[in-house]
Amino acid sequence: MSDVDGKRAEIVARIAQEFGLGDPAALPAEDRARVEAATGAILEAEAVPPASPELRRLIAEYRRLQDLRAGEDNVRLAEAGEVFAPEDDA
């Protein structure tokens, strides 16, 4: 499990806790889907932060890990000569 995946699992567990549910792995499929949908919505939202300071902290850490992974991927592509200028996308 990557750092990003691990942090996402922490976020899922926190959201399940905030919903008053238990361990996400032990949830029925319907509850697990609800928690996953809420997690996706929260991670994709740019504007409205969750009320929970703990959840805000986890999301900030998750986004930093994503940025770090994207940077590492860009370095690997650059080393392989796979860097393209934005105007190449046109």
Tell whether 33 is covered by a domain.
yes
- Whether residue 19 is contained in a domain is answered as yes
Q: List, for residues 55-74, the tens digit of each pLDDT value.
A: 889 988 998 988 887 767 66
Q: How many domains does the chain have?
A: 1
User: pTM above 0.75?
Assistant: no
Residue 72 confidence (pLDDT): 73
Tens-place pLDDT, residues 19-60: 999 999 999 999 999 999 999 988 887 645 677 888 889 988
Domain span holding position 29? 3-81
pLDDT at 80: 75
How much is the pLDDT for 36?
Answer: 93
Q: Is residue 86 part of a domain?
A: no
Which amino acid type is present at position 10? Answer: E
Contact call for residues 62 and 4 (beta carbons, < 8 A):
yes
Q: Which residues contact 19 (CB under 8 A, 6 or more apart)?
A: 31, 34, 35, 38
Q: Is 89 part of any domain?
A: no
Q: Is 36 inside a domain boundary?
A: yes
What per-residue confidence (pLDDT) applies to 69? Answer: 77
